[in-house]
Each structure stands twice: as C-alpha cells, then as structure tokens.
Chain A
Amino acid sequence: MAILLTFLINASIFSIGGVGEDLLVFESPFVERGRFARLGFTINPEYMLLSESGELRGVFWTNPLKMSLSVPLPKGFGVMVGNRERFNQCFDVYLEDSTLQIHAVGEGGIEEVFAGVSKRLGPIDFVATGSFLFGSAWEIWTHSIGAYSLVDTFSYRYRGRIFAVGLKHDLFSVAFESFGEVRKIYMPEDTTMIDLSERLLVGVHPRIDEWSFGLLYERSFWSGDEFNSPNRFKVSLDRGGTGFSYYFNPWYLNDVTEHGLSAVFSLPLRNIGSIDVEMDIALRNRDQLREFSVSPKLTFVLNELFALRRK
C-alpha cells in the first residue's frame, strides 16, 4: 500500500516552490484541424530519478488525462474544447537534520478547461482561446524530533482564468497568452491573487521536401521580482510522422534549468485516427540536485469515428 501511495503522489521535486511545475511550456493554443472533428486523449506518466551527492531516489507520477476536441465548422471556422493541467504542485521530500526529520508531501495543482474558436483566412489560421482555471492542492508536513512528531497541513483551492490568441501560417506561428490570474484560497479564509505570467511563443517551421524543421522561442513575463522571466527554445526535426526535438527550459523558479530530448512517432490508424507515441527525457538541476525525468506520452486521436462508421 505504501508503495502504491508513493506511486500516486510523487512529481518533480522543484514543484515545491512557486505555484508548481509549469506543464504548458512550449504548448501553443493551436489544435490540429482537418476535415473531420478530432478527439484526442493523452496519457502522460512520468518517471523520475533524483540524484544528489551520489545518492539516488526514484519517484513516479501520472499526470491527469488530457482531452481535446476540435470541430470544423463552415466558412473556415472551427471550435475547440479541452482540459489539461497547467501547474503541478505534487512533491514528496524528506529532510533529515541531526535531530529533526521532515516528510513533506504535496498533491494537486492548477488545472484548466479551455474553449476556443479558430478562423482560417487564406493561408493563416487565427485562434483565440479562454481558459477557466481551477483545482485544489494539499500538503502534509510531518515534523519529528526523536519520538515526537507533529503534522502541519496546508490546503489550497484555485479559481482563475487566462486567455490566448495566435496566428499560424505554414511557415511560422505566433501566440500570446495574457490576462492570466488565479485566486488562491488558502484554507480556511486567506485569499491571494496570483498574476500568471504572460507568455509569447514564436515559431518557424519550414518544410524542405519531406523534412519539417521547427524552431520555437518562448518567453514568459512574470510581474514582480519573485519569479524569473525566462527565455526558452526548442528545435525539432520531423519526417513522415517521426520526429526528434531538443529543448532548453529554464524554469521561472530561480536556478532551475532543464534540458530535454524527445522523440515522437505517429502511427496512423486507418479510418480511425492515429496514435502518437512520444518519449521525453529531461535533466533538471539546481546546484547539486539533479532530477532525471523519463516521460512517455501516449496520445489517441479519433477522427469523427462514429460519423465515419455510419457512412
């Protein structure tokens, strides 16, 4: 049972700070659009190996199931809805002083439900989305000195919103996310308003023969001095449904950097949709602490399955 619990409650150790781990880095508001409605499900577990001063610790986390639905409408319009997790606040950390032991466990985060509309004007797709942010998180801090222990519990609830606009051409894309704020209700009554960062995402993705190149640049703009406003980039290469990418993701939290590699393979399913299998490995570190993350991602895309069968 203890093992099972550990499986369920671990995530990046760095998510203990700020509002947690930002899970939407390099995520654009665009949803792939075609002739049919598309329904996508994504499962995204994460294995992590912590390393510090020669010691190792393994942790495991399963992100919530993501879903998205895009429906093409007449006259170049389209609508989309979906859900995803924006900030992950899970962690599981032990501290040992000479006399004091602390075991801090956190679970939960900030999730969102988004809805958007797109319009195709000539070669350019325009998109605008709005997201309702919600979620809850709790933390249990168990402090022990000798045979004595004391538990301190935190509980948070979140409510907020954020908006994004973007345009996408075959060669480039630009997206901007803004007006993001989330109200943190710290039980029982304390309430704090958090201004989320604005986010600019610029991408170029030229195609040469069957090869598709991609270069994404992202900058977050956090107000105030509490968090960094980092510059991130990602380069990718894709051919025939198989792609590789490298990204550099400095976190908004001080001194946390992340280098990652990912490989994606898209397997088309005749008359149904496709399965995308993505393997993402990343190395995050702050000072001597290293976190090696292995994150397989499995996405099922269904192309208006029931309508096709009726035909």
Chain B
Amino acid sequence: MISEYVSPQHYQLDLSGNMVMITIMKRLTFVLCIVLLSCNELPIGEGELGQRGDFAPQFLELNLFSTFTEYKNINTGNAANLVFGMNAEYESRVMLTFDFPDTTYEGLDEIRMILNINGKFNNDTVPFSLHLMGAEFNEYETDWTRRNLDDYWTTPGGDFSSDSIRYGIAQGDSVILYFNYIELEQIEAASGIIIVPRDTGFCYISSREGENPVRIILEKNETMIPAFVDADCHIINGPEPSLFDDWIGSGWVYRDFVRFNYDTLLDSTMAIYAELSFRCSEYFGNRDTLEVGVRQLLEPFSTFDTPTGPLIALKKIGVGDTIVTIDIVKHAEQLIEPPDSNFGFYITITPETYDISRVKIVRGSHRLNIGYIEPPEPR
C-alpha cells in the first residue's frame, strides 16, 4: 500500500483552502436563499420611489383653540350594570319592576330576591334600603329629575314611600333579600321598587342587559318559579363642572370638547399619524382601567347633543395614568380632506353608561402632533 506524504505546510494550505471554500459556500448559500426565497424586506432601490413623490416625513403640532366640558344626566336604561351608592358628589339609585308569573302564591315556602354583584368592579360595602315606588317610570327615559320625557318626579331622585320594606348590606358576590306574602303583594301592587344607598360607597349589580340580572325566586314544594325584571335602570345625581374644569365621565356624563386650529401646512398632504395627548390629574371610579374614546363633531358645536360621528379612536388606560396618548389620525385626515370641517371632537369615557367614573384632564395639556408626508402621485 502506498501512502502519500503530506507536509505540514501543505496541510495548512489545504486547511485554509477548505476555510475559503466554506466561506464561499456560506455566501453562496446566503445568495441562493435570497434568490430562492425572495422574502427579504431590505430597502433596496428606495430611491425609485422618488419618481412618485417626495416622502420626507414632516411633523407638526397644532395649536389648541379651545376646550371645555359638557355634561348631561343621561338615561341608563340600556346600561349593562346597575349602580347604587353615594359619596359627597354623586348619588345613584336603582329602580326595578318585575314580571311576575301568572300563578297562585298560596303555599309558597320562600320568596327571595337575588342581586348579583358584578365582580369586575372594586365594589364597596354599601348599606341600602328597599322602597316601594309611588309613581311609574319609563326605563329608557327616566333620570334623576324625570320619570319619563313628559313628567318629572315630585321629588328628584324618584317618588317612593319613606318607609322601607327591607334593609340590606351589599357585599361579597351577591345579596339575597327574603320577603313574606304581604311584602310580595306590596311589591306586585307598587309601580316598582327602588334601592336607595344609606352610606358612602358604590356597588355594581348586573342589569338585564348584563350577565346575571336581578330576579325574585318563588319557591314552592322545592319548585323554583322565577320572576325576572321587567324594567331596570339607575338614576344618578352628580356634580357640575366649573367653567375651568376639563372632565370626562360616565354615568353622569361629562364630555371634553376639544378643537385645534387647522394649519394650512397640512393642505394636500397625507397624515400618517395624529397623536393626541393630555395629562390627567384626578380619577374617580370603581375600576382599574377605563376606555377613553374620541368622536368627531359633524357640525359646529351647539349643545351637548351636537351630532357626532362614530368612535374614531379608543384607548384603554389605567386608573392613575398621568399621560394619555391616543391615535386620532382619522380626525387629521378629516381636517385635511375637507378643511372646512374642523368642528372639533369629544373625548369621552366609553361606554358612557357602563359605570360611574370621572377623570379630570389638566386644562391646556392637550397636544396634537401630526406626522405627515406628501401623498404618492399616481402613475
């Protein structure tokens, strides 16, 4: 057998040759991958885009024209939650009517009303009293002062008997109130019942639009006969903002009207983003997070009910956040396209009937930064 002698020099040369081959193969593999896969996103040839326009981004901060707070005691007939509670500024009461089944109530073993407390809120322990109502109300029209669109309560906050039929304390997951025959007949005969808070704190229970609505259970011979709510809502009394307060709030609704001056630098440009920011100083509510929304006004501001468009931005914020930023590029687009449509927008808490909450915005802290480019030209 003949073996060939390989000198150390040759061996080194051979090794370095292999290294070169390996390097070349690695590069070829890379090029081959690029060619075959064709999936990289390198900005090669970006200068070619110059044929269709100048895409240098520009940034602009619009000047604030005005802000103020509009508020309204709105109806909560469609609210997902019912709130009863009070503090130094707010008071909320829950009104209910029931649809009792057509059955004889003789021989009932137990009559109980179940209020399911909504655990998504940081509920307080709230003492309350239950009263029979002396006047009917319209679930979708009533508020703190009116029982329907045409009639006012004799006493703001609802007309009800001063004597309660039951006292209770709302805490834990649910509240169960037991009644006797006489009280059941009184509830049936009344125009409804009202839950009135007796101490500070707020408690949230599910409405019939929510998950577990209030119900009365009639138990007879181990058979449960439910009586579901026929109408439910809560009525709220809240504070009026001062002239210099910028508030957003739900329940007792506050909307922050904001309008920025349009800048003609934006003419014929395309906004890529419009970042609205503002500072918050005080929070009130029973949740850890809130949803802040923005709606554009469709015509010049006149009242709280000035028509607005759909939500153009929605942002979840944490209670305690000091700075809120929201992308409202749709507002910037609206400003640029028909520039005479700068009617401003409302900042709101969304949905406005979900709970009772309020955020104070630091006056004058609103900023609107717009990033824009010249739009590409068509071929």
Contacts and interface: CB of A to CB of B under 8 A. Distances in A.
A206 interface: no
Contacts of A2: 39
Interface stretch (B199-207, B235-243, B259-267, B270-278): B270-278
Contacts, number: 128
A95 B46 contact: yes
Contact of A95 (B35, B43, B51): B43
Among B37, B42, B48, B49, find the residue whose CB has the most chain A CB atoms closer than 10 A: B48
B49 A144 contact: no
B57 A152 contact: no
A50 interface: yes
A58 B36 contact: yes
Interface residues of B, number: 35
Nearest to B274: A148
A102 interface: yes
Most A CB contacts (10 A, CB to CB) among B275, B373, B379 go to B379
Contact of A57 (B36, B40, B270): B40
A154 B46 CA distance: 19
A93 B34 CA distance: 15
Interface residues of A, number: 54
A97 B55 contact: yes
Contacts of B275: 148
Contacts of B51: 16-17
B329 A148 contact: yes
Nearest to A155: B378
B376 A141 contact: yes
B273 A146 contact: yes
A18 interface: yes
Contact of A56 (B34, B52, B329): B34
Contact of A97 (B36, B41, B44, B57): B57
A184 to B, nearest CB: 7
Nearest to B42: A57
Contact of A16 (B40, B48, B329, B373): B48
Interface stretch (A5-13, A76-84, A207-215, A234-242): A5-13
A47 interface: yes
Q: Which 8 pairs across A and B sit closest by C-beta, in order of nearness?
A: A148-B273, A95-B46, A58-B34, A58-B35, A17-B51, A100-B57, A94-B43, A96-B43
20 contacts: A13-B48, A14-B48, A16-B51, A19-B379, A49-B31, A49-B34, A50-B44, A52-B44, A56-B31, A58-B31, A93-B45, A97-B56, A102-B49, A104-B49, A148-B371, A152-B375, A152-B376, A154-B376, A287-B47, A291-B45
Given A13-B44, A57-B45, 14 more contacts: A2-B39, A19-B379, A49-B31, A52-B45, A57-B34, A58-B34, A58-B38, A100-B272, A143-B270, A148-B272, A150-B329, A152-B375, A156-B379, A184-B379
